Amino acid sequence: MLENASIANRPVQPAQSTAASSNQETGNDRTRRLKNAYLQSRPTICMERAAAFTRSFKKTEGQARCLRLAKAFRHACETITINIFDDELVVGTHGSGRRMGALVPEISWKWLNEELDTIETRPRDPYYISPEHRKLFLEEIVPYWKTRSLEEKALAQFPAETLKTGVNTDILDTEMKWRSHVGEITPDFQDIVFPKGFRKIRDEAREKLEELKYTEIEDLDKIEYYQSSIEACEGIMTLGRRYAEKAEAMAKVQTDPQRRQELAAIGANCRRVPAESPRNFWEAAQMCWFVMMSCFLSENCPAFNVGRFDMFMNPFFQDDLETKTITGEFAQEIINCLWIKIAELIWLLPKSGSRYYAGYSGFTNLSVGGRNFDGSDAVNEISYMAVEATSRVGLPQPSLSVIIHPDTPEDFLLACCRLARQGIGFPAFHNDRVGVQMMMYAGLRPDDAREWTLLGCVVPHHRKVYEWTDAGGYNMAAALEWTLNRGRSRITGEQMGLPTKDPREFSSFNELKETFFTQVRHILNHCAISTIIEQRLHRQMVPRPFLSLLVEGCMESGSDLVNGGARYNIGPGWIVVGAADCANGLAAIRKNVFEEKNITMDQLLKALDDDFVGHEEIHEMLKNSPKFGNDDDYVDRLQVEMTDFNDRGLSEYTDILGNPFHSAIMGLTYNIPTGSVVGALPCGRKATTPLAEGCSPHPGTDTSGPTASMRSEAKVNHELHPGGTLLNLKLLPSAIEGQRGLAGMANLIRSYFELGGYHCQFNVISQETLRDAQANPDDYRDLVIRVAGYCAIFTELSPEVQNEVIRRTSHESL
Partner 1 sequence: MERAQISREAKRTTAKGIIFEIERWSLSDGPGTRTVVFLKGCPLSCWWCANPESQSDRVQIGVFTGKCIDCDRCAEACDKGLALPAVKGGFSGNGPCRACNRCVSACPSKARRRMGEFVSASEVIKEIKKDSIFYRKSGGGVTFSGGEPFRQPEFLAELLATCKKAGIHTAVETCGLFNWETAADCIDLIDFVMFDLKHMDDRHHRRLTGASNSLVLENAEKMARAGVDMVIRIPIIPSINDSEENIRATAGFVREKLDTALGIEPLPYHRLGLTKYAALGLDYKLSDISSPDDDHIQAICHLITEERVRCFSPGSRYQKESNQSQLTRIK
Q: Which residues bind partner 1 (CB under 8 A)?
A: 616-617, 620-621, 624, 631, 704-708, 711, 735-741, 743-744, 747-748, 750-751, 754-755, 811, 813-814
Quick count: other Cβ atoms within 10 Å of Cβ 257?
Answer: 8
Minimum gap (Å) between residue 727 Cβ and partner 1: 15
The CB-of-715 to partner 1 minimum distance in angstroms stands at 12
Distance CA 146, CA 517 (A): 41
Closer to partner 1 by Cβ: residue 714 or 793:
714
Let me know: does 496 contact 502? Beta carbons within 8 Å.
no
Peptide bond into 427 cis (omega under 30): yes
- Picking from 554, 398, 546, the residue whose alpha carbon sits closest to that of residue 464 is 554
Choose between 278 and 706: whose C-beta lies nearer to partner 1. Answer: 706
Of the two residues 238 and 707, which places its CB atom closer to partner 1 in the complex? Answer: 707
Smallest distance, Å, CB 682 to partner 1? 16
The whole-angstrom separation of Cα 381 and Cα 376 is: 15
Q: How many Cα atoms are found within 13 Å in the side-chain-facing hemisphere of 162?
A: 19
Q: How many CB atoms neighbour CB 88 within 10 A? A: 19
Are the C-beta atoms of 598 and 592 separated by less than 8 Å?
A: yes
Phi, psi of 127 (to 5 degrees): -130, 145
Nearest distance in Å: CB 631, partner 1: 6
Nearer to partner 1 by Cβ, of 208 and 698: the residue is: 698
Asked whether the beta carbons of 549 and 449 are under 8 A apart, the reply is: no
Shortest distance, position 381 Cβ to partner 1, whole Å? 27
Q: Which is nearer to partner 1, 507 or 739 (CB)?
A: 739
* Residue 466 DSSP class: E
**Cα–Cα distance for residue pair 632/437, rounded to 1 Å:** 26
> Which DSSP letter does residue 89 get?
S
For residue 598, the minimal CB distance to partner 1 (Å) is 10
Nearer to partner 1, 50 or 735 (CB): 735
CB of 618 to partner 1, least distance (A): 8
Q: How far is the CB of 607 from partner 1 (least distance, A)?
A: 12
17 versus 795: smaller Cβ distance to partner 1 = 17
Nearer to partner 1, 631 or 713 (CB): 631
**Nearest-approach distance from CB 741 to partner 1, in angstroms:** 6
In angstroms, what is the minimal distance from the CB of 769 to partner 1? 18
328, 333, 337, 343: CA torsion to nearest 10 = 80
**Between 216 and 737, CB nearer to partner 1:** 737
Shortest distance (Å) from residue 740 CB to partner 1:
5
Query: Using CA atoms, how far apart are residues 547 and 298, in angstroms rounded to an integer?
Result: 8
Please state the closest distance from residue 611 (CB atom) to partner 1, in A: 16
Closer of 58 and 740 to partner 1 (Cβ): 740
Strand 662-664 to 791-793 pairing:
unpaired
Shortest distance, position 755 Cβ to partner 1, whole Å: 6
Q: Identify the three-state secondary structure at position 573.
A: strand
The least CB distance from residue 593 to partner 1, in Å, is: 16
Is the peptide bond preceding residue 398 cis, with omega within 30 degrees of 0? yes
- The angle that helices 616-623 and 601-609 make with each other, rounded to 10 degrees, is 100
CB 768, min distance to partner 1, A:
15
Q: Which of 797, 723, 691, 713 is nearest to 760 (CA)?
A: 713
Q: How far apart are CA 205 and CA 555, in angstroms?
A: 7
> Closest CB to partner 1 among 133 and 711?
711
Which CB atom, from 94 or from 433, has the smaller least distance to partner 1? 433
DSSP 598-656: SS-HHHHHHHHHTTTTT-HHHHHHHHTS--TTSS-HHHHHHHHHHHHHHHHHHHT-B-T
Quote the Cα angle for 306-312-318, to 5°: 140
- Do β-strands 365-369 and 399-404 pair in parallel, antiparallel, or remain unpaired? parallel
Nearest residue (CB) to partner 1, 551 versus 588: 588
The Cα 362–Cα 304 span in angstroms is: 8
274 cis-preceded (ω within 30 degrees of 0): yes
| Nearer to partner 1 (CB atom), residue 287 or residue 736 | 736
Cβ 608 to partner 1 shortest distance, Å? 17
If the CB atoms of residues 710 and 793 are measured against partner 1, the closer one turns out to be 710
Residue 1 or 814: the one with the smaller Cβ distance to partner 1 is 814
Cβ atoms of 636 and 628 closer than 8 Å: yes
Rounded CA separation 381/10 (Å) = 11
- C-alpha distances in Å from residue 19, one per residue of 31, 39, 423: 13, 18, 11
CA distance 273 to 92: 12
